[in-house]
Chains A and B, each alone.
Chain A
Amino acid sequence: MKLEHRVTVDAPRAKVWAVLMDLPVAARCVPGTHEVAADGGGVRGTLDVRVGPVKLALGGTVAIESRDEAAGTARLRADAEDRRIGGAVRALVDLSVTGDAPTELRIASDVAVLGRIGELGQALIARQADKVLAGFAECLRATVAAR
């Protein structure tokens, strides 16, 4: 499932880029994350997602798969698993920054839900993923602004 979010940050492009590439900081921006810690080149942590009475605890990693600072593009890959219900989520997140103060950040994600979690239904999952990513975008904006 493909999702797209855009936010405009009133800050220089270099600053936005720096926050994005600071994975522990960026990962904490995903709403519901905790126990975020550096892990090799990436981070490891847990993401809690609630859908009504259903609670997921997605434990996993985020890594930078590729980056091109000059072009202002990077690809992150997130893999997380829930062992209680059985299932996993994988997201390929393409980040791109354009413009400069204000800087526009575009987050294009391709999210795949694997295993039993999928039984929650596509519409619900799309909605939750959208919420999480929208929260992520908003938090990034706020974080950059605060620096």
Chain B
Amino acid sequence: MRPFDYFEPETLDEALEILAGDPDDTLVMAGGTALVILMKQDLVRPERVLGLRRIAELRDIGASDAGVALGALATLGALARSQRVRGHTVALASTFAAVGTVRIREQATLGGNLAHADPAQDPPVTLLALDGVAVAKSRFAERRIPLDGLFTDLFETSLERGELLLRVELPPLPKGARATYKKFLPATLDDYATISVAAVIATDANASVTHARIALGGAGPVPLRARDAERSLAGRRLDDAAIREAAALAAAATDPIEDLRGSAAYKRAMAEVWTERALREVA
């Protein structure tokens, strides 16, 4: 690693100011779990680094419009333990708990996780299924980015130069909604998902589906929503046939990248198996 200028402001405004000073050559660092590895490998060689860790206002895990707002600097560990997160849905808390190891969870932040945009990460998948909206701000403007518009490609987001992620807002869940997150770890339990699935389902008194969200991780260059699968469930009972059909549609929506965790064909097949398992769990 080579020398760089390091800034560690205490307020968001100062941070945005520093960033605006040289948005192209300032690297934003939160927990550093993704960045420091790249820096040590010399793959990233910043001139300036903006450390966010002292900005307390971005650490909050709070309420927003009957939903919840998760601060970008909240660690994944804090989110996994948070009563507010758990109260929203246990599946979200267990998603955070499924990340890496305790050493990673206590250091890595939500904002870093989203901005890193590795499609095999866990939190984006469940947050997508929960209709999460990211809030980003630059020195000039603040905007809201629904999560399915945040991830644009492998390790790429629609965040612009000079923008910081402030938080993710989750709207209230439909009454009686059930949610689950399935992380498929076929090799070692300390790994990224080979494929992962989050499902959120709400049904009416007749057990017909009124709300369906299915999101997949590790299934393509970005975490994705299986919209055809979601639509196929609308108004139906979650019986065997409906579940199988949705699972097949979810698999069809994937565009997996072959890597050491498996071939594209295998990952696609696993997307089907795990969508089916997730739906059975929330049925």
Residues of A within 8 A of B (CB): 50-55, 84-86, 116, 119-124, 126-128, 131
Contact = CB atoms under 8 A, between A and B. Distances in A.
Contacts of A51: 154-155
12 contacts: A50-B156, A51-B154, A53-B27, A53-B44, A54-B44, A116-B43, A119-B43, A120-B43, A122-B259, A123-B257, A124-B155, A131-B153
Which 9 A-B pairs rank lowest in CB-CB distance, beginning with the nearest? A52-B155, A123-B259, A54-B43, A53-B44, A123-B257, A127-B154, A54-B44, A51-B155, A85-B43
Chain B interface residue number, banded: 10 to 19
Contacts of A116: 41-43
A16 to B, nearest CB: 29
A127 B257 contact: yes
B35 interface: yes
B42 A52 contact: no
A126 B156 CA distance: 15
A119 B41 contact: yes
Nearest to B35: A53
Interface of B: 27, 35, 38, 41-45, 116-117, 153-156, 221, 257-259
Given A51-B154, A54-B43, A127 B221 contact: yes
A5 to B, nearest CB: 16
Contact of B38 (A53, A84, A122): A53
Contacts of A127: 153-154, 221, 257
Contacts of B156: 50, 52
Which of B43, B154, B156, B221 has the most chain A CB atoms closer than 10 A to its own CB?
B43
Contacts of B117: 52
Nearest to A131: B153
A116 B258 CA distance: 21
B222 to A, nearest CB: 11
Which of B38, B116, B155, B259 has the most chain A CB atoms closer than 10 A to its own CB?
B155
A121 B259 contact: yes
A122 B257 CA distance: 10
A51 B156 CA distance: 7
A124 B43 CA distance: 13
A66 to B, nearest CB: 31
Which of A52, A55, A126 has the most chain B CB atoms closer than 10 A to its own CB?
A52
A15 B38 CA distance: 45
Given A119-B43, A124-B155, A127-B154, A52 B258 contact: no
Contacts of B42: 85-86, 116
Contacts of B116: 52
Contacts of B257: 123, 126-127
A53 B156 CA distance: 9
B35 A124 contact: no
Nearest to A123: B259
